[in-house]
Amino acid sequence: DAGVTQSPTHLIKTRGQQVTLRCSPKSGHDTVSWYQQALGQGPQFIFQYYEEEERQRGNFPDRFSGHQFPNYSSELNVNALLLGDSALYLCASSPNAGKFTYGYTFGSGTRLTVV
Amino acid sequence: AQKITQTQPGMFVQEKEAVTLDCTYDTSDPSYGLFWYKQPSSGEMIFLIYQGSYDQQNATEGRYSLNFQKARKSANLVISASQLGDSAMYFCAMRGLYQTGANNLFFGTGTRLTVIP
């Protein structure tokens, strides 16, 4: 049973460009969250999608947007890239009906470098 | 607001010994959960253990146990019989049930554990 899969694994973009990252949740999971992890820091919550809607958002600018598809997969889009957007982007999935105790299942992330 | 503090940037432990990784937290939410994750160099966050704020007993999962002291707002991870494969970053995280942010995890800055042969 595949866990959370993310693509691509690595990406290099130029400042000002746009990027799209993709995530397929674990089988049976319908909720997808995105996190940004800067070097030497813990992950920070970007937003969460459920039923194709953004359910909750962290403290990130509107340059960060997302989408969830009917098959529960998700995309993270970042416009007008800044050097500070360089980070590991982690996708996490969970069953919406899951217990509060559930530890989200994370993917291995996409490492984005903005030059 | 919720906050997680991990004061140990790096820790070393001899193989087969036990090690404690510290975590303190702050929240005004009356009900919350505390999590520990392991992040190897591959980047994936691996869920280790969970402790609920109203759980009477400390959580245990195999070689992992959580030393939960609610009055001190601490949730330290204890790894017994360390193995070379335990070398990784370890993150403490919290999730509040009622406050804004109930759907996301707040993470600390992590502790890098190195197991010495």
Q: Which residue of B has its CA nearest to A94?
A: B103
C-alpha Rg value of chain B to the nearest Å: 14
pLDDT level of residue A98 (50, 70, 90 thresholds): low
**Pick from A55, A106, A111: CB nearest B44:** A106
Among the listed residues B6, B77, B48, the one whose alpha carbon sits nearest the alpha carbon of residue A105: B48
Torsion, Cα A75 A42 B94 B99, to 10 degrees, reads: -60
Please list the pLDDT of chain B residue by residue as tens digits (117 residues). 789 999 999 999 999 999 999 999 999 888 899 999 999 998 999 999 999 999 989 999 999 999 999 999 999 999 999 999 999 999 999 988 776 566 788 999 999 999 999
Contact A103 B37 (CB under 8 A): yes
pLDDT level of residue A99 (50, 70, 90 thresholds): low
Q: Does A41 touch chain B (CB under 8 A)?
A: yes
Contact A88 B108 (CB under 8 A): no
* Residue B96 pLDDT: 82
- In the block, tokens 């992890």 appear at A37
Q: Give the integer Cα–Cα distance in Å for A100 and B96.
A: 9
CA distance B61 to chain A (A): 13
Tens of pLDDT, residue by residue over A37-86, are 999 999 999 999 999 999 889 999 999 999 999 999 999 999 999 999 99
Query: Encoding tokens for residue A61?
Result: 């600018």
pLDDT level of residue A106 (50, 70, 90 thresholds): very high
Q: Chain A window 53-82: which residues touch B at a Cβ cutoff of 8 Å?
A: 55-56, 58
Query: Encoding tokens for residue A71?
Result: 């098959």
Query: What does the DSSP 8-state code read for residue A18?
Result: -
Phi and psi, residue B48, nearest 5° = -110, -50
Neighbour-count burial of B1, counting CB atoms closer than 10 A to its CB (0-12 exposed, 13-18 middle, 19+ buried): exposed
Give the residue from A45, A47, A51, A53 with the most B CB atoms within 10 Å of its CB, the best one to mutate.
Answer: A45
Share of chain A above pLDDT 70, in %: 94
* Residue B10 pLDDT: 97
Query: Encoding tokens for residue B47?
Result: 């869920």
CA distance B83 to chain A (A): 22
